[in-house]
Amino acid sequence: MCMGSKCKKYNKEYYRSLKDFLKENHLQHQVEILKTECTDRCKHAPIACLQPQNIWLIEFGEKEWKQNIEEFFAKNY
């Protein structure tokens, strides 16, 4: 998750919600969340990337964030 100055104002909250989601679904030991410095994609903030599928989430709101995370983990875990 990008934690550059523009993304951080969104991703700080999304980081916490992802940690809670992983804990609620007993995935906290299978999934690692990495905070990165600026990804140099500020005009598309916020930015997050799901690996190893290389799925980039850009310009998302809370609704899209939750939907993407739930779909990703339903397919992959």
8-48: per-residue pLDDT in tens? 999 999 999 999 999 999 999 999 999 999 999 999 999 99
Domain ranges of the chain: 5-76
pLDDT at residue 3 tops 90: yes
The torsion angle over the Cα atoms of residues 4, 71, 31 and 25, rounded to 10 degrees, is: 120
The tokens describing 46, both together, are 């916020």
| 3-state SS record for 8-75 | HHHHHHHHHHHHHHHHHCCCCCCCCCCCECCCCCHHHCCEEEECCCCEEEECCCHHHHHHHHHHHHHH
